[in-house]
């Protein structure tokens, strides 16, 4: 399920990763406060929530990263990994730490699996194959 949020004052899509993470955590906290029975459904780990799940949640999900061309000036960066609090902020920080510009992105979760798609560029151009290999080996 994908969720797209819009700012009521501007009508623009909310894209700031820190604001999106704050909104996500607010939703989770409200679920726990007003619907404590939902805590066992929130697959965030064995100690998360008012009532932990009966069995330890298996979050041994392999991380997959793929870069595809998206025209001459940008690339599509796909990341699939285990979901956790703060993941979106961490992904954007790692990407920008290696001097790749995030132009926009979409983030989705399916149970324990997080899927991120970022439109990225390096110095205003698409990420070329040799750079993809160098950048992916840095982290």
Q: How many domains does the chain have?
A: 1
Whether residue 43 lies inside any domain: the answer is: no
Answer for the pair 52, 43: CB distance below 8 angstroms, yes or no.
Answer: no
One digit per residue, the tens of pLDDT, for the chain of length 139 reads: 456 667 777 778 878 877 777 777 777 777 777 777 666 655 544 344 455 555 555 556 788 888 888 888 889 999 998 888 888 888 888 888 888 888 888 988 887 888 999 999 888 888 875 555 555 555 5
Q: What angle do CA 24, 29, 31 make, to 5 degrees?
A: 95
The pTM of the full predicted model, rounded to 2 decimals, is: 0.53
Whether residue 131 lies inside any domain: the answer is: yes
Whether residue 38 lies inside any domain: the answer is: no
Query: What is the extent of the structural domain holding 107?
Result: 64-138
Predicted confidence at residue 135, as pLDDT, reads 52
Sheet of strand 75-82: strand arrangement? 64-69, 75-82, 113-121, 101-110
Predicted confidence at residue 46, as pLDDT, reads 39
Q: Give the domain CATH number at 133.
A: 3.30.70.260
Whether residue 3 lies inside any domain: the answer is: no
């Amino acid at each position: 399920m994908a969720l797209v949020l819009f700012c009521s004052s501007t009508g623009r899509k909310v894209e700031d990763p820190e604001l999106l993470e704050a909104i996500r955590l607010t939703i989770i906290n409200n679920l726990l406060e007003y619907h404590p029975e939902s805590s066992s459904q929130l697959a965030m780990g064995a100690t998360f929530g008012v009532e932990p799940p009966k069995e330890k949640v298996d979050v041994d999900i392999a991380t997959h990263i793929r870069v595809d061309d998206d025209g001459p000036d940008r690339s599509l960066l796909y990341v699939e990994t285990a979901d956790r609090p703060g993941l979106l902020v961490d992904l954007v920080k790692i990407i920008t730490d290696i001097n790749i510009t995030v132009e926009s992105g979409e983030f989705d979760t399916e149970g324990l699996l997080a899927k991120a798609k970022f439109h990225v560029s390096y110095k205003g151009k698409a990420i070329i194959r040799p750079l993809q290999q160098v950048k992916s080996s840095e982290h």
